[in-house]
Amino acid sequence: MQAPHLSASVVLYFTKTDVLNQQLDSLLKAMTEFCKEHSGASLTLYWIDNSVDENYHQSLLDLIDGRELPGNIILKLIRSQENRGYGEAHNQALQRLENGTDFDTANESFDSKKPSHDYHLLLNPDVYLSKTCLLECFQQMELAPKIGLLTGKISDNYESVPHVAKRFPGIRPLLGRYLRLPIWLQQQQKYIYADKDSKKAFDAELAGGCFYFCRLSALRSVAGFDERYFLYFEDFDLCQRLRNQAWILRYSPDITFQHDGGGVKAKSFRHQWFFFCSALRFYSCHGWRW
């Protein structure tokens, strides 16, 4: 049997180097554990630098030069010529996946060749994997071929629920949460699956985008992220389009990671503008719910 080849992408925007080093350490530990069960496995990791800043990019090159990575982990740095958003940056990595998973810009879809990598991990830079995280993801995907996306349990102090699984949001609970208003609380709790036992796996409608372990064929079936979203809702849009293609999105408490940037935080006016513009696009595409 051929050894598994995993890939991952992380979008950077002036991310601190100590955060990146911590994430790299967690990936190394997770790959070490993975290779105990799957000898010869490899990981191709893409960093997409969206800073468009010479000094910051040089700091990334210095960090890479100073790290000694094992031979089965390849780190590739992609420099964006302009910052066109989170989803477009991840798509750059998907375009560059080797041996038949490049993005066909003429047809706006991934080509039909068999990929050399079967699974791709979409990560925020402030997410740190447990040592069994990759192994658990791989095993669950292998057992259930209809799962297109896996998300897991957040091991640190997050919110009232230790995960980012979500129901399709009505406008009321979404505004209440993102504007940090104590209104429509019952709807807010339903939106975050507070009624579900977080110690048991369940199929979700959507999931926040800090950690997605994806089947590449699922990503290819929806042509990756919709690049019209600059920031916010590109993750929900991806989930909704995956479900429209009959892929299952599953939360599993056996998949664990830490997310330092988790939770709902106050937003600047600029970020609120991005949020409302993306919300308008999302609901216009997928239907309005109150």
What SS3 state is found at 211?
A: strand
Name the DSSP class of 158: -
Name the DSSP class of 193: T
7 token code pair:
């890939």
The one-digit pLDDT tens for each residue of the chain (290 residues) are 688 999 999 999 999 999 999 999 999 999 999 999 999 999 999 999 999 999 999 999 999 999 999 999 999 999 999 999 999 999 999 999 854 444 333 334 444 344 356 999 999 999 999 999 999 999 999 999 999 999 999 987 556 678 999 999 888 877 777 666 676 778 888 889 999 999 999 999 999 999 999 999 999 999 999 999 999 999 999 999 999 999 999 999 999 999 987 544 556 778 778 888 999 999 999 998 88
Cβ count within 10 A of residue 1: 5
C-alpha span between 84 and 229 (Å, rounded): 9
Distances (CA, A) of 16 to 22, 61, 63: 10, 13, 11
DSSP H or E segment with residue 238: helix 234-244
Could you tell me which of 204, 285, 196, 275 has the C-alpha nearest to residue 237?
A: 285
Name the DSSP class of 163: S
User: What residues does 152 pair with on adjacent strands?
Assistant: 252
pLDDT at 171: 83
84 token code pair:
């066109």
C-alpha span between 85 and 50 (Å, rounded): 8
What percentage of the chain's residues is helix, strand, coil (to nearest 5)?
A: 35, 25, 40
DSSP H or E segment with residue 24: helix 17-37
276 token code pair:
């409302």
Residue holding tokens 């750059």?
Answer: 92
pLDDT at 267: 63
Strands 248-259, 127-129: pairing is: antiparallel
Strands 147-154, 248-259: pairing is: parallel
The phi and psi torsions of 134 (rounded to 5 degrees) equal: -65, -40
Its pTM stands at 0.89
Burial class (CB in 10 A: 0-12, 13-18, 19+), 113: exposed
pLDDT at 110: 42
C-alpha span between 24 and 45 (Å, rounded): 10
- Name every residue whose Cβ is closer than 8 Å to that of residue 70 and which is 6 or more positions away in sequence: 28, 31
